């Protein structure tokens, strides 16, 4: 009996030891899901800052806006850096996720691009407008179009949908697409509203090529996010501090020349 008890205790201690060892190893490492541009580029920039603090940063690039939250919710990766807060909150609500903002980093003004027109007045009756298909992005696009007096929205509270359009003088036709695919459809529509990260990847210059673009007062700040309960972990807090350091601010300003705006 004593021998059995001793064997069980040794086994438990071994398991406990492995768990502790794993926990200690993970304390000096943080894995982040990110969009390629500009998020992964900014993360690569802060790697040396974190290395000096003994933190290993692993960056995993994703091409969509769905998986980065899924892998964090399921614990596959520690954090993500690709989305603004309204997108995060909508995803939490729709998917019953528990993703939480750690810190706001930058704004990517959303812009309108075209291969068929050079100014907004050239939009004809029945023009096709391609827009991102996410709930929070539709709200954002509609507010941008209203600011350009292309549509008028109702005054009801809450997120706007296509059903919120009260007036559409040019009878614009809206085509909903996955955000990453929008640049590829520029030749097939009259206008496309594209997220800046995908515009930059497609070699579009938001400041030169956009027919119109959001102002710097946009509330859609891109955030470093993690699963609720992990936001105070040391490695994630050090990453948050590195992403909002003076060096990172200068890098964003020089690298993107106003197409990406620091929010700190």
Sequence ranges of the domains in the chain: 31-108+220-262, 111-213
pLDDT number for residue 199: 96
1 pLDDT more than 70: no
pLDDT at 93 over 70: yes
Q: What is the mean pLDDT of residues 141-160?
A: 95
One fold for both 31-108+220-262 and 111-213?
Answer: yes
Q: Please state, in angstroms and as integers, the Cα–Cα distance from residue 233 to each residue in 27, 28, 29, 62, 84, following that order.
A: 8, 10, 11, 24, 21
CB-neighbour burial class of residue 92 (10 A; exposed 0-12, middle 13-18, buried 19+): middle
The model's pTM is 0.82
Alpha carbon distance 21, 16 (integer Å): 8
Picking from 46-50, 187-191, 213-217, 244-248, which range would have the lowest pLDDT averaged per residue? 213-217
82 close to 68: Cβ distance less than 8 angstroms? yes
Q: Return the pLDDT at 168.
A: 98
Q: Is a pLDDT exceeding 90 seen at residue 28?
A: yes
Q: Is the pLDDT of residue 218 over 90?
A: no
Q: How many residues does the chain have?
A: 264
For residue 176, what pLDDT band results from cuts at 50, 70 and 90? Answer: very high
Dihedral sign, Cα of residue 201, residue 196, residue 223, residue 137: negative
CA distance 46 to 216: 24
Asked whether the predicted pLDDT for residue 11 surpasses 50, the reply is no
As a whole number of angstroms, the distance between CA 116 and CA 151 comes to 20
111-213 is classed CATH 3.40.190.10: yes
Percent of the chain beyond pLDDT 70?
90
Beta strand residue intervals within 93-145, DSSP E: 99-107, 111-113, 128-132
Burial degree of 39 (CB within 10 A; 0-12, 13-18, 19+): buried
> Which residues on adjacent β-strands are paired with residue 174?
129
Mean of all residue pLDDT scores within the chain: 91
Coil, helix or strand at residue 19: helix
CATH fold of the domain at 31-108+220-262: D-Maltodextrin-Binding Protein; domain 2 (3.40.190)
Residue 217 pLDDT: 73
Give the residue-averaged pLDDT of 33-60. Answer: 98
Query: How many Å apart are CA 53 and CA 47, to the nearest integer?
Result: 10
Please report which confidence band the pLDDT of residue 26 belongs to, taking 50, 70 and 90 as the band edges.
low
């Amino acid at each position: 009996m004593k021998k059995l008890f001793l064997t069980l205790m040794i086994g438990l201690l071994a398991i406990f030891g492995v768990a502790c060892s794993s926990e200690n190893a993970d304390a000096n490492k943080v894995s982040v899901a990110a969009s390629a541009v500009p998020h992964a580029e900014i993360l690569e920039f802060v790697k040396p800052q974190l290395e000096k603090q003994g933190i290993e940063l692993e960056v995993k690039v994703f091409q969509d806006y769905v998986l980065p939250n899924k892998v964090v919710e399921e614990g596959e990766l520690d954090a993500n850096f690709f989305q603004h807060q309204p997108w995060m909150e909508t995803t939490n609500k729709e998917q019953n996720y528990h993703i939480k903002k750690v810190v706001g980093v930058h704004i990517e003004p959303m812009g309108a691009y075209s291969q068929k027109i050079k100014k907004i007045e050239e939009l004809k009756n029945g023009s096709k407008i391609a827009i991102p298909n996410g709930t929070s992005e539709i709200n954002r696009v509609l507010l941008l179009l209203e600011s350009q007096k292309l549509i008028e929205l109702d005054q009801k509270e809450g997120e706007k949908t296509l059903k919120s359009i009260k007036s559409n003088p040019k009878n614009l036709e809206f085509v909903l697409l996955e955000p990453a695919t929008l640049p590829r459809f520029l030749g097939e529509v009259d206008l496309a509203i594209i997220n800046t990260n995908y515009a930059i990847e497609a070699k579009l210059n938001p400041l030169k090529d956009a027919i119109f673009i959001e102002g710097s007062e946009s509330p859609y700040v891109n955030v470093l996010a993690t699963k609720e309960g992990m936001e105070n972990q040391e490695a994630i807090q050090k990453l948050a501090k590195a992403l909002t350091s003076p060096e990172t601010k200068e890098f964003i300003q020089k690298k993107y020349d106003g197409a990406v705006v620091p929010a700190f």
